[in-house]
Structure 1
Amino acid sequence: MHPLLSLGVFWLLPLALTLGEDSPLDCIPRRTVLYNRDNAHLFHEEGVFNYSTMLLREDLGLLMLGAREAVYALDLNNVSKKLASVKWEVTDKQKTDCKNKGKDLETECKNYIRTLHKMDDNRMYVCGTNAFDPECDYMSYVDGILTLEKKIEDGKGKCPFDPFQRYASIVVDDSLYSATSMNFLGSEPVLMRNSDTSIRTEFKSSWLNEPNFVSMAQMPESEKSYQGDDDKVYLFFSETAVECDCYNKLVVSRVARVCKGDVGGLRTLQKKWTSFLKARMDCPVLESQLPYIIQDSYRWCDLQQPWKDCLFFAIFTPQSDTSGLSAVCVYRVSDISRVFAEGKYKSPVTVETSFVKWVMYSGEVPVPRPGACIDNAARKEGIKVSLDLPDRTLQFIKDKPLMDHVIQPIGEKPLLVRKGATFTCIIVNQAQAADGNKYHVMFVGTEEGTILKAVNYDGEMFIIEEVQLFKPPEPIKILKFSNVTGQLYAGSDYGAVQIPLATCGRSLSCMDCVLARDPYCGWDKVAGKCVALSDAQSELIQSVKDGNATLCPGADPVKPVNQIIWPGGNLKLHCPSPSNLANIMWQQDDRSLSFSPLILHQPDGLLILNASYSNAGRYRCVSVERSKVAEYTTTIAEYQVNVDPDAGKDGHRFGPQPQRGGPSVAGLQAVVGLLVVSILALLAWNFYKGHLPLPWECRNKNREQSQQSHEQGDLNATVTKGPALAEDKPLVSGADNGSRNNNHTDGEVGFSAAEGENAPEVSLPSLQFIDDESEI
């Protein structure tokens, strides 16, 4: 058996056991919001794709959006408004050269904008793949005009060649840190700082081995540091593990870091990082055997707290596609920093002269510590910059950049595990609820173009809603949000959208508002509606931890809607569920309604077929939803149904109507006559030409064939004289499906009549005969 396949089998066993019990996988969004134009502001320009690079310019009120061969300046308050744009297209020669190198002319030989950063002089630095020949330029926005300055720079090491290759970049103190590939083939991955003292990683598999770069973040670790430490730049990526003793390639998740003041070594590691260290990250999901792979990360920091309290939220997906699970794990920056500062190293050891095994290094560690930044202790020894580091320290880090310790998430388990659409990206915002506590609200993008809005309340993961942003569904590739506007921005191949962080208006009642458990929203007693906390004019009702809706005032009684139907007709009573966590119950005259083939419970209502007088009465649709403290019952809709044989009279006719003002009967008869004559003439011509045999010739021929087959059968019976080998049975027994659905004497499905303007729209499903178990 294939090794990975066998691992997959064992991996699925705990998954199957877990799915049978209550588990985090049962965490479904309380509300599902289908695609609607009113959900978000959308920007899309015809013929332009891949809107996957974003830069917030809150100082200019702009969202800078990089796409394929174009950069846009959009209104930060309404991204559907384009304020300026600039095209950056490849030349015909560049297209030809790209095609001659074996790349696709329509997809790969374009200029995909991949790098977009603000510089200290207020300009922007932009790079594109440029038909597999990356280039960079400076861009400015002045007086409403976006301009490329045409100061073209070589983009190798700054921007990927391949538009579909993962990459990461960040600007720190006007220096671009980039993680990408240095060559056309993508076989020379680097973590590089592009500045006056440019340095990069070694081209060694022990440093970077077939990596997929994810994201980068800067940590101000020099602030208030008693050790005189340096700032760090962290890189998140996945790569093929060199330390794994297995037959097949195993991919693992990593975090690496370098020191901002690193300028390389004097002799060893010249113009190379002397502080590059990396460690494995783990996100344990359901005792999985194969490690989950990091796909995106987000650094969250409280500006009032020291950097050690910062958190990294990261998304993980499985290596095998059999599970359909995605996870979110959270890591403390202090835990990661401690591994690099105090942890053990891994060292390669040659076994049997050919095989290299990585084990924990237990020998003497040089001083200064390999991979450490220059601090006060090093300065006392006369080491002021990395150029002063001794060769012994540099040679150690050159051969052993991997840490032995595996970094575990907070609680050593995921914050969120969900089965369904694969997670693609994440962003986190902190919201202060009415109870005074602050909560991390996660916005998670998926491959199906949806955004999950989720909060963890004291270990309980609660998904507030899932919103469909794109139609058709497009994977969300990037997320940003602005504290200035309180808006979230998402990009995909199709376009970019903007949605508010708080969507309180979707809750129409106090109970619905409280049960949503959204820290952004509360029920305003005076205004009588669900509002954002920042817009509240009076005391708010909110219970995010427990969903306690007992504080809500009594709801106004639901006014019954009169519905009239004639015997044999059909009626749809609408009742949209306010929540995915609620159970919908129907009552008829205050008694629980029993469903039958003629009374169907549908997701959005109740369907009554072939109505009789027993179907008359008062129908009530009730929602029952349970929170942590209680069970709440709400009447959503109420109908008074009357069965009246004269419902279709008085001009109200809902069945098939006679056509008026159409062609006359004589005209129709003439048309039919012409058709008959044409068919007879066509048949006569085919008989004359011999294309069709005459009827009596067919009978004579059939008689001769029957006689020949009878004689042949007698001959065979004489030769074999044995029992029949098989009985003649039909392979398929068919039935006329059409006759099963004719439940009405007039051959048509009737429609219900309704009084006044309150008649709900009736939508009847087609009744189809299912002749296949797979369809059931």
Structure 2
Amino acid sequence: MNKGAMHPLLSLCVFSLLLPTVALEENLSPVRRPRRFIPYDGNNVLLFREEGVFNYSTMLVRDDLNLLVVGSRGAVFALDLNNVSKKHASVKWEVPLKKVNECKNKGKNPETECKNYIRVLHKKKDGSMYVCGTNAFDPECDLLSYTDGTLTLAKSEEDGKTKCPFDPYQKHASIMVDDSLYSATSVNFLGTEPIFARTSPPMRTEFTNYWLNEPSFVSMAQIPESKGSEKGDDDKVYLFFREIAVEFDYQNKMVVSRVARVCKGDIGGERTLQKKWTSFLKTRIDCPVLELQLPYLIQDTYLWCEATQDWKSCIFYAVFTPQIGTSDLSAVCAYKVSDMSKVFSEGKYKTPIPVETSFIKWVTFNGDVPVPRPGACINNEARGIGITNTMLLPDRTLQFVKEKPLMDEAIQPIGRRPVLIGKGAPFTRIIVSKVQPPNEEEYHVMFIGTEAGTLLKAVNYNEEAFIIEEVKLFEESGPIKILKTFEDKLYAGSDFGVVQISPSNCDRSPTCVDCVLARDPYCGWDSTDGKCVSFSDSNRKLIQSLKDGDPSQCPKVDPKKPVEMFILQGDTTRLDCPSPSQLAEVHWEKEGLALPPSAHLHLLEDALIILSASESESGHYRCYTVEKSKTSIHRSTVIEYHLHIYSNDSEVDPLPQTSGPSVTGLQATLAFFVVAFLALLAWNFYNSHIPLPCNTKKKNVEPQQNPDQEAPAAAAAAVEKKPLMSNPQNNTSNNNHTEMDGRSTTDGEDPPKPRLSTLQFIDDESEA
């Protein structure tokens, strides 16, 4: 929050005068949580990172070169568009030592701030790339080319002021339109002079807080409003940002979200606003979240336009986060471009009026609006009165827009409510992809990056938001800084690297019920192959119920075979129950009856803990989940256990296993004793200690045994008489329970040794 800004909670009374309370019904826009969480080790992504390189925050998709060009700190990489883990080329762009020292002498950190962070990366018409970096608080731009598998910088050392920020941590935005760079950044070392500028023909904003008041820039987008326009309108460039609201008391600084726009054909005024925007207008953009009245702050936008439709059908998706310390909810709101255009082209203006001494109050302007309309592009109406470019606009129109760039009406989202509200790590980035399953309508799937380095996958079904999953993309926790998409691939960048991920990943659903309850518009259940597959990869009719999440069409499955568990009385054990859904309630039952928690039984989200097991804990346990869909409630068995409790003096064999590491150890022990016995027998025959039948005669008296033979004979007897099961009293509580699949619960410890009867049983099984 900016210096001098009041605490957000004190702004409630101020903002409530501007923003009417929007009461959202719980069933229309409730807070959502992901149905499934995918940890880093199961995310199935392709990763690129290079030792010593940091901040992979700029991306450019070059499908003509089959490359993903990535800008980082001190380097640019050309990665394979189909496999980002494969690097085709790279070029370093580091700061000379002299400049690093200059930066250090100005009070900046030489290890972090006095580096070259790539912040601008755009394609030009000739195929080259325009790239700019912070260059140790002295921004610089250059041309980048890719030829014969090599990235090359032209080393033109072009001044980057007005194009790229000085400070690598300062927010900025840019877009390339017809080889002209539109940029929103700061033009001085201290970052106190914000500007929204264009390189050619050169244009910029006024240095006044009426236009930009301590802004934090977010994003830009071009809208081709001239296409098919009956009024002969011009294309627009929209800028999204946050700033301190001038319409509030200057002592009560409160940040609000804004959208501004300029005309592509704007070349400034002749006398007033020379080389400055004559079409710069801005207004507040709202995303009302539940009953909260403080304005949410815009963090990123994504423009969705249908290729076959005109610009009026385009939608801006935007992510918002709360004012500091007011909430842990983030939101996505969607806006029609046509609604934005209407506010700027037809809406009323705000005007500043002095109150008392130096206080300025902004109110609705109800006076006469000059002609041509202030802030409007040159259109047929203007041309009809001889005004063919902005330099011919009258001073009255220019003076009006110079003093009153703020519109009275705020932009409201579609439905006047968020598309999605999520709880947890704040949202940082958003990208939207379209998918249309067979015989279904078209859906917009939102992929949302978070501060925790995770990616949310969400969709809206008939005004019902649903978060399919949350995937941890990087092992380290840090914000997702950029998202890009191309065809069926998603790319994400953070401080720690670049990842590529498929938008579908249907194989994460192991059963038909889970596949349907996931409600993923990319996926359906293939009954023939018995797996969840992508619609695009199958010609069969797949089972899915996107709007209702109804798995009633799924084929019945065979009952699960219980896992046999053997527990020593008095021990503590854990019965795992990995639920496939975070939206499901986990329940336990024993012998068909609900299992309530007690002093000995602790029910966790993913397990049942049994403390000091007694004989009463023996029996059949079942873990199942209960998950609600729009139409019904679904129960699914996750796992079943058959628990056996035995005591130290129990005669019951606790290990009827036929495979696994414990059985392997027993078989090895048996083999050792057999080999030792045969070797000892052969040694005795060789030394004639045991006479062969052909060399012996019947004698009535046993010969006296040589004392030297007593030790080997005793050893042989000891081998034959040694019990093959250790005393239960010597067992430790760490290895007394074993599952039927033979997996040992501890590593590096000797397995229990069975009795001879058990060895016979195992030996019979191993010979089968």
TM-score by length of 2: 0.83
Is 2:144 the partner of 1:139? yes
| Aligned mate of 1:70, from 51, 69, 75 | 75
Aligned 1:211-610 pairs, distance under 5 A? 211-245=215-249, 247-483=251-487, 486-610=488-612
Residues 314, 650 of structure 1: CA spacing in aligned structure 2 closer, same or farther, 3 A cutoff? Answer: closer
Separation (CA, whole Å) in 1 of partners of 2:276 and 2:288: 34
Question: How far is the alpha carbon of 1:631 from its aligned partner?
Answer: 1.3
Question: How far is the alpha carbon of 1:620 from its aligned partner?
Answer: 1.9
Residues 568, 18 of structure 1: CA spacing in aligned structure 2 closer, same or farther, 3 A cutoff? Answer: farther
What per-residue deviation string (whole Å, max 9, x for no partner) do you get for residues 301-323 of structure 1? 11122111111111111223231
- SS of 1:39's equivalent in the other structure is coil
Task: Tell me the amino acid that sits aligned with residue 378 of structure 1.
Answer: A
What per-residue deviation string (whole Å, max 9, x for no partner) do you get for residues 218-238 of structure 1? 001111111111110000001
Residues 353, 617 of structure 1: CA spacing in aligned structure 2 closer, same or farther, 3 A cutoff? Answer: closer
TM-score by length of 1: 0.82
Look up the match of 1:751.
735
Is 2:89 the partner of 1:84? yes
- Gapped runs of 5+ residues in structure 1? 655-743, 764-776
Separation (CA, whole Å) in 2 of partners of 1:124 and 1:354: 49
Question: How far is the alpha carbon of 1:69 from its aligned partner?
Answer: 0.5
Task: Tell me the amino acid that sits aligned with residue 362 of structure 1.
Answer: N
| Aligned mate of 2:10, from 7, 10, 15 | 7
Separation (CA, whole Å) in 2 of partners of 1:613 and 1:478: 57
Look up the match of 1:662.
none
Look up the match of 1:47.
52
Residues 634, 400 of structure 1: CA spacing in aligned structure 2 closer, same or farther, 3 A cutoff? Answer: same
Question: How far is the alpha carbon of 1:351 from its aligned partner?
Answer: 2.5
Look up the match of 2:100.
95
Question: How far is the alpha carbon of 1:150 from its aligned partner?
Answer: 1.2
What per-residue deviation string (whole Å, max 9, x for no partner) do you get for residues 434-467 of structure 1? 4421111111111111111111111111111111
- SS of 2:332's equivalent in the other structure is strand
Asked if 1 retains the 8 angstrom alpha-carbon contact of 2:566 and 2:654, the reply is: no
Task: Tell me the amino acid that sits aligned with residue 177 of structure 1.
Answer: Y
What per-residue deviation string (whole Å, max 9, x for no partner) do you get for residues 653-695 of structure 1? 99xxxxxxxxxxxxxxxxxxxxxxxxxxxxxxxxxxxxxxxxx
Q: How many residues align?
A: 668
| Aligned mate of 2:613, from 596, 611, 614 | 611
- SS of 2:553's equivalent in the other structure is coil
- SS of 2:40's equivalent in the other structure is coil
Question: How far is the alpha carbon of 1:589 from its aligned partner?
Answer: 2.3
Separation (CA, whole Å) in 2 of partners of 1:511 and 1:68: 46
Separation (CA, whole Å) in 1 of partners of 2:584 and 2:184: 47
Question: How far is the alpha carbon of 1:26 from its aligned partner?
Answer: 4.1
Task: Tell me the amino acid that sits aligned with residue 117 of structure 1.
Answer: H
Asked if 2 retains the 8 angstrom alpha-carbon contact of 1:349 and 1:359, the reply is: yes
- Gapped runs of 5+ residues in structure 2? 17-21, 664-727, 748-768
Look up the match of 2:716.
none
Question: How far is the alpha carbon of 1:43 from its aligned partner?
Answer: 1.4
Look up the match of 2:163.
158
Aligned-pair RMSD on alpha carbons?
2.7
Question: How far is the alpha carbon of 1:577 from its aligned partner?
Answer: 0.5
Task: Tell me the amino acid that sits aligned with residue 638 of structure 2.
Answer: I
What per-residue deviation string (whole Å, max 9, x for no partner) do you get for residues 724-758 of structure 1? xxxxxxxxxxxxxxxxxxxx998953433436534
Residues 227, 18 of structure 1: CA spacing in aligned structure 2 closer, same or farther, 3 A cutoff? Answer: closer
Asked if 1 retains the 8 angstrom alpha-carbon contact of 2:15 and 2:293, the reply is: no
Separation (CA, whole Å) in 2 of partners of 1:8 and 1:516: 41
What per-residue deviation string (whole Å, max 9, x for no partner) do you get for residues 535-576 of structure 1? 113101111110011011112321222222333334332220
The ranges of structure 1 where at least 4 consecutive aligned residues each deviate by more than 6 angstroms after the TM superposition are 8-13, 17-23, 648-654, 744-747
| Aligned mate of 2:38, from 33, 56, 80 | 33
Look up the match of 2:688.
none
Question: How far is the alpha carbon of 1:347 from its aligned partner?
Answer: 1.3
Share of identical aligned residues, percent?
59
Question: How far is the alpha carbon of 1:599 from its aligned partner?
Answer: 2.6
Separation (CA, whole Å) in 2 of partners of 1:18 and 1:583: 29
- SS of 2:326's equivalent in the other structure is coil
Residues 589, 579 of structure 1: CA spacing in aligned structure 2 closer, same or farther, 3 A cutoff? Answer: same
- SS of 1:200's equivalent in the other structure is coil
Look up the match of 1:722.
none
Question: How far is the alpha carbon of 1:22 from its aligned partner?
Answer: 7.7
Asked if 1 retains the 8 angstrom alpha-carbon contact of 2:121 and 2:129, the reply is: yes
Task: Tell me the amino acid that sits aligned with residue 64 of structure 2.
Answer: D
Aligned 1:655-694 pairs, distance under 5 A? none
Is 2:153 the partner of 1:148? yes
- SS of 2:377's equivalent in the other structure is coil
- SS of 2:278's equivalent in the other structure is coil
Separation (CA, whole Å) in 2 of partners of 1:553 and 1:650: 34
